[in-house]
Amino acid sequence: MVSESNEKIREAVRKGYTNIARGSAGCCGSPSPDKLAERMGYLSEDLELLPEGANMGLSCGNPTAIADLKPGQVVLDLGSGGGSDVFIAAKKVGPDGGAIGVDMTPEMTSKARANISKFAEKTGLSNVEFRLGEIEHLPAADASVDVAISNCVINLSPDKRQVWREIARVLKRPGKACVSDLALKKPLPEGVLKSAAALVGCVAGTVLIDETIRMAKQAGLKNIEVTEKPCDIDAMADSYDPLCSQVIACLPEGAKLADYIVSVDITARKK
């Protein structure tokens, strides 16, 4: 049963990302999505193959890099947005593999689907699919994917334990989860927790690293590794974006996001 508070959070996030997809709002990121992506470790050749508008500057890492994708694999991206990581993954897994994006926002899903033909023209590949759905209830069969990726999305979910259970469910054996996300160094100020801008900007739902590890273990995943990347938060905060400005305004005087939040790469195995 979905609680009323969880549904309110989900609707706030959906509304925020609908506005982003329509171009009427932004998320925490650089004024130049490509520059932010480069700071997150994306290669120029990966960015060049993306259809226009696929990279929306919503990243806090590069899960396609840590996944070490191989030809023939099937990849599932949780919270695929404009589709940038899906398209990059599709190129890496090649014609014998596949890349599937899942997003709960119809406008984002439509935006990503509109770029499939452009990606095919650039690469000759027809191995991409975008599905409308919630990451707590993935529209994918049990044991159907080799790699699950996600980029700054799981922290938006009001039920993160369920997300990790779903990741474990859809992964084959042996399968791998490769997630770039945000984690807390210390509790956020109350004003940030109450900010809708912070929620949509991938901040207010952030949890401690140990809690994330615990949820992944409880889902049945093994060999969990977490790598901290504090510099990425500075890249996200180095923005004149209205959402970031609202979040920063809720912090104590002289404080910055990097004092509270770290960007992390998380890898885990289903054995």
Per-residue pLDDT of the chain (271 residues; tens, 9 = 90+): 445 556 665 666 566 665 565 564 444 444 477 877 887 788 999 999 999 888 876 678 899 999 999 999 999 999 999 999 999 999 999 999 999 999 999 998 999 999 999 999 999 999 999 999 999 999 999 999 999 999 988 988 889 999 999 999 999 999 999 999 988 888 877 777 666 555 445 565 778 899 999 999 999 999 999 998 865 565 555 543 445 666 677 788 888 778 888 889 999 999 9
32 dihedral zone (left: phi>0; alpha: psi -120 to 50; beta) = beta
Cα gap 73→215, rounded to integer Å: 26
The pLDDT of residue 137 is: 97
The pLDDT of residue 30 is: 44
DSSP secondary structure letters along 98-137: EEEEEES-HHHHHHHHHTHHHHHHHH----EEEEE-BTTB
Tally DSSP H helices, then E strands, for the chain.
Answer: 13, 7
Residue 104 CB contacts under 8 Å (≥ 6 apart), including other chains = 10, 14, 79, 132, 133, 134, 135
Pairing relation of β-strands 171-184 and 261-270?
Answer: antiparallel
Q: Which domains does the chain have, with CATH numbers?
A: 4-270 (3.40.50.150)
The pLDDT of residue 240 is: 38
243 dihedral zone (left: phi>0; alpha: psi -120 to 50; beta) = alpha
The pLDDT of residue 257 is: 76
Greatest Cα pair distance in the chain: 54
pTM for the structure as a whole: 0.84
Cα gap 48→54, rounded to integer Å: 11
Residue listed under structure tokens 């994708």: 69
Residue type, 20: I
Q: State whether residue 183 is helix, strand or coil.
A: strand
The pLDDT of residue 19 is: 59
The two structure tokens encoding residue 50: 């993306």
